[in-house]
Homo-oligomer: A and B are copies of this chain.
Amino acid sequence: MKNIGKMGIHYLQRLNAANVPKDLIEKGQNRVIEASLTLIRERAKLKGELLRALGGVVASSSLLGVPLGHNSSFLQGPAFAPPRIREAIWCGSTNSTTEEGEDLKDPRVLTDVGDVPVQELRDCGVDDDRLMSIISESVKLVMEEEPLRPLVLGGDHSISFPVVRAVSEKLGGPVDILHLDAHPDIYHEFEGNKYSHASSFARIMEGGYARRLLQKLGEGVKGVYISVDLDCLDPAFAPGVSHIEPGGLSFRDVLNILHNLKGDVVAADVVEFNPQRDTVDGMTAMVAAKLVRELTAKISK
């Protein structure tokens, strides 16, 4: 998708060079952004109304895809992840219940508000700063609709920053973060890009959006945000990631960490799944889907 992003910029440069009025471009971009947010708002609203009509739900996971790959330093594949993960969740070659028995087919347990149209926005020349704001805004639109809580499907790890920022601002204070990752992602910047996937947590801490970074399981926490970078798993368990680092966790290790975690999980993300490096029959997609199932079990009640 990188090249599509580049195309957008190239396109605008060309228009500028041809003396197309800057004003005309900006107005059009604003209308496209507004329409994009309206679509997410309406989907979240519909899901919220229905859950409230059903009643008896305190918190309910709601999938929000953020197919953003253009900030990644290597392969662009994470932009293709959200539809693949959804496919694996519902594919029928595995059951749809969590290890503790909740059924994901129950709309009170899991709903979906679709994807932020990242690619289309980039193609219209929307720059990185605004894109980050649109992602934050989208997360807030989901949280607006009680009892929905965002379960975000990346995208690369750079998305964790705008998502955590939105969650923190909406809740009115910092959250605790359980961060599972082979890399700390706290470079101040990476190859000159302050929003790169390797700098996401530097931005989060800088903004005061999180109280502390848990990179190993600590004592009981509350108001927790869970961020799972699939490269925390050994590539034997999750080959479909951009940055392979042998020597990682087993999948059962990750499940044990999640099952032992205490506290009120307010939102979560699953990032850095790269379908272009997955096995032919999609083993990593299945791993991501099972993570979504178990994260849903932590969030929904």
Contact = CB atoms under 8 A, between A and B. Distances in A.
A297 to B, nearest CB: 13
A42 B32 contact: yes
Contacts of A14: 106-107
A192 interface: no
Nearest to A15: B50
A117 B75 CA distance: 26
Contacts of A91: 3
A119 B29 CA distance: 24
Interface residues of A, number: 84
A208 interface: no
Given A39-B32, A124-B46, A251 B237 contact: no
A31 interface: yes
22 contacts: A4-B90, A18-B54, A20-B50, A28-B42, A28-B46, A31-B45, A35-B39, A43-B124, A76-B87, A80-B84, A86-B119, A93-B243, A94-B244, A94-B245, A114-B119, A115-B120, A235-B286, A239-B281, A246-B286, A246-B290, A247-B252, A279-B279
